[in-house]
Amino acid sequence: MNKDFTLTASDGEKIFITAYFNDKYVANNAVIYVHGFKGFKDWGFIPYLANYLVEKGFFVITFNFSHNGIGENRFEFRELEKFAKNTFSREVRELNEIVDAVDSDIFEFGKFNKIGLLGHSRGGAISILTAFQNNKVNAVAVWASISKLDRYSKRQKEEWEKKEFFEVLNTRTNQIMKLHISILRDIEDNYQESLNIEKAIKNLKRPLLIVHGDQDLAVPIEEAEQIYSWSDKSQTEFFKIFGTGHTFDAAHPFFCSNRKLESVLEKTEIFFKHNLN
């Protein structure tokens, strides 16, 4: 089963949430899925993975960051002004608030023993940064995660400064999506502290699963290797998937699973069962 909620963030913005659960038993542990850049909670394999984890005994939360560009329409980017003004710091704050909401039983599903974060792509980095800040998070799994937030060339930054926005193409929808200068300022102002992924990983002190496809063109596998190099090897697993890319051979809309995705799901399930139960 699943049920939709709206969480009001500390700044009054709306965060749309879907909770997945089995109505025949109460799950002891929760997993929060964190989407990436140009991602959303109803994209492709996300509902499938949520139901998969529910069947394995977990309570699962998926959500849209308030400024991810998706509003009341669950599948279309219609809030491009919000998308343009999003920042990494906003996403870390909102994920912290979601973790706190789950821990405080705001959804009235009961108190959970432990909470895990599962982040894809940029959502992996946001999950790591949040877990470092929030001791209510007990384990983190990242799929195809970025290892750095500053992903822009000197020339791109110069154009960004000149225009005060940067344009990216959504190849799936053919939309030109703008990024306001605020995201660049956020990186510059917080890169050494609250947005320092290296520092967060080196001080995570919690189980970490890194999953990455060796043919990922969006986020090269070298970024996963960088994350692993910073990690505490006694608490970290690195699972390489050979012959697959950024979304493990899955697409949107999602029609069916595949062997690569199933191997990722199985590895993630085992990781959370071991570290949350």
When mean pLDDT is compared across 24-28, 53-57, 66-70, 133-137, the lowest value belongs to: 24-28
What is the average pLDDT across 187-199?
95
Q: Is 164 part of a structural domain of the chain?
A: no
Q: Is 186 part of a structural domain of the chain?
A: no
Average pLDDT, rounded, for the chain: 96
Degrees to nearest 5, angle at CA 273 with 272 and 277: 105
Q: Is 40 part of a structural domain of the chain?
A: yes
Q: Residue 162's pLDDT band (boundaries 50, 70, 90)?
A: very high
* 256-260 CB contacts, 8 Å cutoff, 24+ apart: 257/45, 257/48, 260/213
Q: How many domains does the chain have?
A: 1
Q: Is 125 part of a structural domain of the chain?
A: yes
Look up tokens 């608490």; give the residue.
235
Provide the pLDDT for residue 277. 84
Q: Is 46 part of a structural domain of the chain?
A: yes
Whole-number Å distance between alpha carbons of 185 and 181: 6
Q: Is 175 part of a structural domain of the chain?
A: no
Domain that residue 216 falls in: 2-150+191-276
Provide the pLDDT for residue 84. 97
Q: Is 7 part of a structural domain of the chain?
A: yes
Q: Residue 257's pLDDT band (boundaries 50, 70, 90)?
A: very high
For the cut 90, the answer to whether the pLDDT of residue 222 exceeds it is: yes
Provide the pLDDT for residue 115. 98
Provide the pLDDT for residue 242. 97
Q: Identify the CATH number of the domain in which residue 77 sits.
A: 3.40.50.1820
Q: Residue 103's pLDDT band (boundaries 50, 70, 90)?
A: very high
Provide the pLDDT for residue 264. 98
Whole-number Å distance between alpha carbons of 32 and 206: 16
What percent of the chain is predicted at pLDDT more than 70? 100
For the cut 90, the answer to whether the pLDDT of residue 117 exceeds it is: yes
Q: Is 240 part of a structural domain of the chain?
A: yes
When mean pLDDT is compared across 24-33, 48-57, 116-125, 141-150, the lowest value belongs to: 24-33
For the cut 90, the answer to whether the pLDDT of residue 8 exceeds it is: yes
Convert the pLDDT of each residue in 236-255 to its tens digit: 999 999 999 999 999 999 99
What is the average pLDDT across 40-50?
98
Structure tokens at 85: 């003004």
Provide the pLDDT for residue 16. 97
CA distance readout (Å), 244 to 49, 52, 259, 263: 18, 21, 10, 12
Task: Decide: helix, strand or coil at residue 257.
Answer: coil
Neighbour count for residue 5 (Cβ, 10 Å)? 14
Task: Decide: helix, strand or coil at residue 210.
Answer: strand
Q: Beta strands of 164-262 (E only): which ranges?
A: 165-170, 175-180, 208-213, 236-241
For the cut 90, the answer to whether the pLDDT of residue 134 exceeds it is: yes
Neighbour count for residue 263 (Cβ, 10 Å)? 15
